[in-house]
Amino acid sequence: MIETTHATGMKVEEKLFQNRYLVDAGRPHIKVLPHDKPSKALLALTHACPAGCYAENERGQVEITADGCMECGTCRIMTAKTGEIEWNYPRGGFGILYKFG
């Protein structure tokens, strides 16, 4: 499982809970392409994504739940060479809505 809890006990989910989103239901803006074994870069997203969107399943593949995504682009840039994910901005108006930024 993905390590989302830091030693201090703070879960990333609790952080994301404070944010405002307008989720485009049923139209995720990021997809992980089907794969047998993730590359090192794809696997690294399970800790590098600041929203903890990526997790490894029982079969060792990497999955994404993009609801908490802050659209930073880190995952796109990290896997640009391997081409394992498809990344787009959410449709205009959807996604993260920073109150302060």
- Cα–Cα distance between 62 and 49 in angstroms, integer? 12
Does 12 participate in binding another protein (rule CB under 8 A)?
Answer: yes
Q: Which of 23, 24, 50, 56 binds another protein (CB under 8 A)?
A: 50
Q: What residues from 16 to 75 belong to the interface with ligand SF4 (CB under 6 A)?
A: 30, 49-51, 53, 66, 69-75
> Is residue 62 within 8 Å of residue 46, measured between CB atoms?
yes
DSSP codes of every residue in 68-95: G-----HHHHHTTTTT-EEE-PPSTT-E
Region near another protein per CB under 8 A, out of 5-13, 30-38, 55-63? 5-13
- Cα–Cα distance between 38 and 35 in angstroms, integer? 7
Burial of 87 (0-12, 13-18, 19+ CB in 10 A): middle
Among ligand SF4, another protein, none, the one that 65 touches (CB under a kind-dependent 5 to 8 A) is none
Query: What is the binding site for another protein (CB under 8 A)?
Result: 3-4, 6-8, 10, 12, 15-16, 18-19, 22, 40-41, 44, 47-48, 50-52, 70-74, 76-78, 80, 88-89, 91-93, 95-101
